[in-house]
Chain A
Amino acid sequence: MDNWQSLQSKLIAAARANPPSDRVPYAFEKRVMALLAARSATEPLGLWVRGLWRAAVSCMAAALLLGAWAFFNPAASTKTDDLSQNFENTLLASVDQSDQVQ
């Protein structure tokens, strides 16, 4: 145990005796600034893309919820027995009304 402790101290001392260099590559700051500039140039497009993705996800979620509601709601399915008939009645409601007035 003691052997290990002192060996560990020795190894840690070896690591301390060899501190890493703080050398910075040539023109590193210029590269960072260029990256930042490129990033801000693509930012408006990125905002649009993010916004559209969010809208697509929300629409999908709403469609799924409404689909599930329509599928699992028995009242809604028994109420309308003939969709084509109902559609035709709605479409021609104004014509029917004008016929009745005459």
Chain B
Amino acid sequence: MERTEAELIAAVLQGDAASFEPLVQRYSPRVFATARRYARRESEIEDIAQEVWLKAFEKLKSFRGEAPFEHWLMRLTVRTCYDFLRGHQRNRESPFTDLTEPESDWLERYVALPETASENAEAAKLLVARILERLSPPARLVITLLEIEDRPVKEIARLTGWSVPLVKVRAFRARAEMRKILGKMAKDKYL
């Protein structure tokens, strides 16, 4: 019979480290999907996921069981991803590159007839990925959680450990940052 999450956690806390494995197995897909939002290379994604699980094992004593384990783990994952973004900030400080031809075509189509420029187009996906990569760590985190994952501000505050007003301020700044980056990339000809 499969043991429940609470039983597994209790066993780990009593010194049975092997009981941690089913938890890793069960929740790793969520951890990997989150990590892939912030890192591109598979080696980096794996490093993030590994760190999340090592931290989870170390800090398991602090899990009080009031909320589901998954919520606690996601908080840890988001914070580890944020640390990763901050740690790799310099890598992204390469000079701006102009729009590629497909990206430029997509934007031109969008300016002429917005409804014909599909969001499923590969160029649009690449463009948004490039913009996200150029954002500062707090801006990228807040845009991802608020706009892309469509999470409420309160939940973002809980996940990041920021206050609600801080999330709102950072969201406002992040949108401005995004606009500035797109403006630089497109040399303001489309906006």
Q: Report A's interface with B, CB cutoff 8 A.
A: 3-4, 6-8, 10-25, 28-33, 35-37, 39-40
Which residues of B approach A to under 8 Å, CB–CB? 17-18, 20-21, 24-25, 28-30, 32-33, 36-37, 42, 46, 49-50, 53-54, 57, 107, 110-111, 114, 117, 119-121, 124-125, 127-129, 131-132, 143, 147-148, 150, 175, 178-179, 182, 190-191
Task: Kindly list the 10 A-B residue pairs having the minimum CB-CB distance in the complex, ordered from nearest.
Answer: A20-B36, A22-B29, A14-B124, A22-B33, A13-B119, A14-B119, A29-B24, A11-B128, A24-B28, A15-B128
- State the total of A-B contacts with C-beta under 8 angstroms: 98
| Contact status A8-B33, CB under 8 Å | no
Q: Which one of A7, A33, A37, A40 contacts B24 once the chains associate, using CB atoms below 8 Å?
A: A33
Measured between beta carbons, the chain A residues less than 8 angstroms from B37 are: 20
A33–B125 touching, CB < 8 Å: no
Q: Say what secondary structure dominates the interface of chain B.
A: helix
Chain A residues in 8 Å Cβ range of B110: 7, 10
**Distance (Å) between the CB of B39 and the closest chain A CB?**
10
- A24, B32: Cβ atoms under 8 Å? yes
Q: Which residues of A contact B125 (CB under 8 A)?
A: 14-15, 17-18
Report the minimal beta-carbon distance from B157 to chain A, rounded to whole angstroms: 20
Interchain CA distance A22-B132 in the complex, whole Å: 20
Kindly list 13 other residue pairs between chains A and B, CB separation below 8 angstroms, not including A15-B128, A24-B29: A3-B190, A7-B107, A7-B190, A10-B114, A16-B150, A20-B37, A22-B29, A22-B30, A29-B25, A33-B20, A35-B54, A36-B20, A39-B54
